[in-house]
Chains A and B, each alone.
Chain A
Amino acid sequence: MEISFTEKDLQFRGQVRSWIKNDYPAHIKQKQNNGEKLSKQDIIDFHKALSLQGWMGYNWPVEYGGTGWSSTQIYIFQKEFGLAGCINILPFGVGMVGPVIYTFGSDEQKKRFLPNILNFDTWWCQGYSEPGSGSDLASLKTKALKEGDHYIVNGSKTWTTLAQHADWIFCLVRTETTEKKQEGISFILIDMKTPGVEVEPIITIDGEHEVNAVFFTDVKVPAENLIGEEGKGWTYAKFLLAHERFGIAVVGASIRQLNILKDIVAGLKNPNLERKITELEINLNALEMLELRLLSDLENGGHPGAESSILKIRGTEIQQRLTELFVEASGEYALIYPGPHGHSNNQPAGPAHAAKSVSKFLNYRKASIYGGSNEIQKNIISKYILGL
């Protein structure tokens, strides 16, 4: 057994660190350091900077303009970005629809969509969930009926992250009513500017606008926007789920948060809280090591599958626990409403991190719900690993 990275991988890590140190957009870093809210343009700027470096396709093969990195390199890249507190790379384009297009799309589609993803000229959002179909995604009802060389789409999607900024949405739609509900589902790309597409904000308990309801009324979508074969959408969606394995444990970001928390708590003389933080640190060590075990498996020809559900469950539990401890470290100042300060522009007294801590605590309740809820992840483990 051997736990260290190779010389080459360490060199690669140095490169990543150096980019973060020298080339990460300074205006974004400054805003993040000051705890300011990032604008849409900041997020675009970050992705553009990444493109410029040629790292946007960090998980793509070289032939489609990706980096062709090994699993270890992808792991190092994501970990370092997390540790440094970089903005999250939006998964919808490069992590989700991109791989589906280069794996199942036509040459025409590859030419049309892939470069825009790598340049971040198109902001993608994910239209899977519907009001009636969350965990049971295959029951989705949004219909796409073929009429000549178009599909007419009717229905609605919900919880669509950042759809308010998106140029395009990739959707699972029902093109046929079949006995087995998975079989009538297709994967289609829709321009958000098409007449009949409407986006309505959904405000979450942290007071933020991050998710939306998206409505489709007689939306005319060119048939060439359908990916692969009609009725195969479910297969593509499942492929996509298996594709994003690492990163869901967000170990890097959690280690960073843990260290920030330790600094805050160092001055508080609160042994109870210190104990809880230590317990969390041990859990985080376990998660980090589990991720490395899966990585090693992958690099040595294995095919880890449902194990990634453990990463999702424990990763989000740790993320959520961290936010709870930040709130605890805020003491009484956790009382102040984290949203925009309605009545006054003055910052209230108390620790600087307090309002943000509560806001994040509330926001991160989502982590155990989205991307396949933690209950669903446990169903997967019990079925595919324990054989129950």
Chain B
Amino acid sequence: MNLNYSDEQQMLRDQIQKFCESDYSFEKREAIIKSDNGYDKDLWKMFSELGWLSVPFKEETGGLGYGPVELTILFEEFGKVLVVEPYLSTVVISGSILDNSNFSNKSKLIGSITSGEKHISLAYIESNQTFDHSSLSTTAISDGNTLIVNGMKSLVLNGGNADHIIASVMLDGEFALVLIDQGLSGYSSNSYPTVDGQTCAEIQLENVSVPSESIIAKGEDAINLLSEAINLATLCISAESIGCMTACYLKTVEYTKERRQFDQPISNFQVLQHRMVDMFIETEMCKSLLYKAMLECDSNEPTKFKSVSGLKSQIGTAGKFVSQQAVQLHGGMGVSEELLIGHYLKKLVAIDSLFGNSSHHLNKYISS
């Protein structure tokens, strides 16, 4: 047994860490969030040049052939400084769907992702509140060589920047995933900022006519591609949460050692020491669940879905605890927008809401 990173993985980690520490200051992040696109195109290009956008793709499709372990390395580091670039939607989710599909055009599309030219977003949520996305009202009707798509998609991550979306539709009554270009007539999108400083969009599809070659997959295949992608994405944001939680306890330890009240550093108060110990323990427990889930995903065990649900369920509650306590121990400073600490809380709220919250995954764990 050896639960250490390989040399190659350690190198990747060092590289990302170096970037996060030296090129992603709080001020820079703030400026990126306020910019028109909500992400930094130059940084995105740099991600491509460093090969980061190629991490999860198979070597046949021009990727580095890495897997879940490398992705979690990346996301954990991203979580520490709250990187807002749309890696999750374009590279992880859309990338995974395309890479695992038999879609004819996939090499070209993946090439456009790894080169940093294009963004692709998954559009699978419609307005409901139950995390159940199998019953759809978006339809695609075959009409000769084209499909006519109608419907409305919600909470499309990075949807405002997407050159294409992968939409879930009922294709002549059957579940399917279809690639749709952003420029088509009848396609409109409305972008919103998310609580964690990213963006999502509502996308309206009104009699959008797409060529039938745009069908990525149908039936069982489509359902499997979707659940694989969401499972991987859930693993990634769980790793991101652990980055946040780690930063939360480290920054809180640092702050309480500096902050003086009653003529002493507040870190002297035992109740605060124990609170920080609890924050640390929660983080370590989540990290352990991450390892279990990540390794099962890496070797494609049938239990991987259950383990990811166990992980995500814990992340929801532990992440909230850790980030809330980080705010609490910072006192008023914790609720200030000017400090990174409150933004971890926002990130963890966003993550809990994505791909099923804590209760949802607990139920999923029970029933799997």
Contacts and interface: CB of A to CB of B under 8 A. Distances in A.
Interface stretch (A9-17, A87-95, A142-150, A359-367): A359-367
Nearest to B352: A334
Interface stretch (A26-34, A265-273, A291-299): A265-273
A341 interface: yes
A386 interface: no
A158 B191 contact: no
Interface in A34-81: none
B129 A330 contact: yes
B131 A332 contact: yes
Interface stretch (B13-21, B39-47, B53-61, B194-202): B194-202
Contacts of A135: 261-262, 266, 331
Interface string A92-122: 0000000000000000000000000000000
Given A205-B336, A268-B130, A335-B196, 15 more contacts: A134-B332, A139-B262, A211-B332, A335-B350, A335-B353, A336-B200, A338-B195, A342-B192, A343-B193, A343-B199, A349-B154, A350-B154, A358-B195, A358-B349, A369-B331
B328 A365 contact: yes
Interface in B318-368: 320, 324, 327-328, 331-332, 334-338, 342-343, 345-346, 349-350, 352-354, 357, 359, 362-363
A344 B199 CA distance: 12
A358 B343 CA distance: 13
Contact of A205 (B266, B346, B357, B363): B346
B127 interface: yes
Interface string B193-215: 11110011010000000000000
10 contacts: A134-B261, A334-B349, A339-B193, A342-B192, A349-B152, A361-B349, A362-B345, A365-B342, A366-B335, A375-B271
A211 to B, nearest CB: 8
Could you say which interface size class chain B belongs to?
Answer: 35 or more
Interface in A326-379: 327-339, 341-344, 346, 348-351, 358, 361-362, 365-366, 368-370, 373-375, 378
A13 B260 CA distance: 47
Contacts of A176: none
A186 B155 CA distance: 54
A279 interface: no
B332 A129 contact: yes
Contacts of A330: 129, 353
B264 to A, nearest CB: 9
A203 B338 contact: yes
B202 A348 contact: yes
A230 interface: no
B189 to A, nearest CB: 10
A375 B275 CA distance: 11
Given A139-B261, A342-B193, A358-B195, A332 B346 contact: no
A136 interface: yes
A133 B331 CA distance: 11
B86 to A, nearest CB: 14
Most buried by B among A269, A324, A337, A358: A337
Nearest to B266: A135
Contacts of A132: 260
A346 to B, nearest CB: 6
Contacts of B193: 336-337, 339, 341-343
Interface of B: 125, 127-131, 152, 154-155, 160, 190-196, 199-200, 202, 260-263, 266, 269, 271-272, 320, 324, 327-328, 331-332, 334-338, 342-343, 345-346, 349-350, 352-354, 357, 359, 362-363
B177 to A, nearest CB: 19
Contacts of B352: 334
B237 to A, nearest CB: 12
A348 B338 CA distance: 27
B127 A335 contact: no
A166 interface: no
Contact of B129 (A136, A139, A329, A337): A329
B190 A335 contact: no
A365 B353 contact: no
B193 to A, nearest CB: 4
A205 B359 contact: no
Contacts of B334: 365, 369
A350 B127 contact: yes
Contacts of A338: 195
B247 to A, nearest CB: 16
A350 B129 contact: yes
Given A335-B155, A358-B349, A328 B328 contact: no
B270 to A, nearest CB: 11
Most buried by B among A330, A343, A361: A343
Contacts of B129: 268, 329-333, 350-351
Most buried by A among B200, B263, B331, B345: B331
B308 to A, nearest CB: 17
A202 interface: yes
A273 B349 contact: no
A330 B327 CA distance: 23
A207 interface: yes
B130 A346 contact: no
A344 B191 contact: yes
B328 A368 contact: yes
A187 interface: no
Most buried by B among A158, A332, A341, A351: A332
A330 B352 CA distance: 11
A158 B164 CA distance: 48
Nearest to A343: B191
B310 to A, nearest CB: 16
A362 B359 contact: no
A159 interface: yes
A265 B335 CA distance: 29
